[in-house]
Amino acid sequence: MGIFSVAAKIYTGFPDGARAPAEVDLLVDTGATFSVIPRAILTRADVKAVEEREILTVDRKQLRRDLVYAGIEASGRRVLSPVLFGEADDFAVLGAVTLEIAGPVVDPEQKKLLPRPSLLL
C-alpha cells in the first residue's frame, strides 16, 4: 500500500549518469514488487526494455509490462534497479525490490525514507 511520495531522479548511462536525470515523484509502496516509472520518462531517456514480465494486480488482472534496469536516486541513495515501464493508468511507484537494494527504512509517521546501514550477515 502506498503511503507517501518521494522525489526521485531516473538515470540512464548508469553509474556515471552521463545523461541528465529525469525527475519524478514516486509513491512509496512496500507492497509493490517492482518500481514503476512512466513510459514517457523512460522513452525520453532512450531506455530500451530488456524483457517483458507478467504482472498480477491486486484485483487479479494479469498484465504484461516491459522491464528495464535503470538508475534510481531517492533520499540520497542512487542504485541500479529493475523497473517496469508504466502505462497511462499506472501509478509511478518506488517498489520493494528497489527499496531493498537502496536499504532505507520506510517511516510512515514522518512520511520519509530514513537512512540505514546495510547489513552483512
Q: Which three cell numbers stand for residue 91?
A: 501509478
Assigned domain for 70 exists: yes
Per-residue pLDDT tens for 64-114?
999 999 999 998 888 999 999 999 989 999 999 999 999 999 998 999 999
* Owning domain of residue 89: 2-114
Domain containing 71 — which CATH number? 2.40.70.10
Per-residue pLDDT tens for 38-65?
999 888 877 789 999 999 988 899 999 9
Closest alpha carbon to 78 in 5, 4, 3, 16 = 16
Closest alpha carbon to 73 in 98, 42, 48, 109 = 98
Assigned domain for 119 exists: no
Distance of alpha carbon 42 from alpha carbon 66, whole angstroms: 11
* Whether this model's pTM surpasses 0.75: yes
537502496: which residue's cell? 102
Assigned domain for 52 exists: yes
Q: How does strand 35-38 pair with strand 51-56?
A: unpaired
Number of domains in the chain: 1
For residue 114, what are the β-bridge partners?
A: 105
Assigned domain for 87 exists: yes
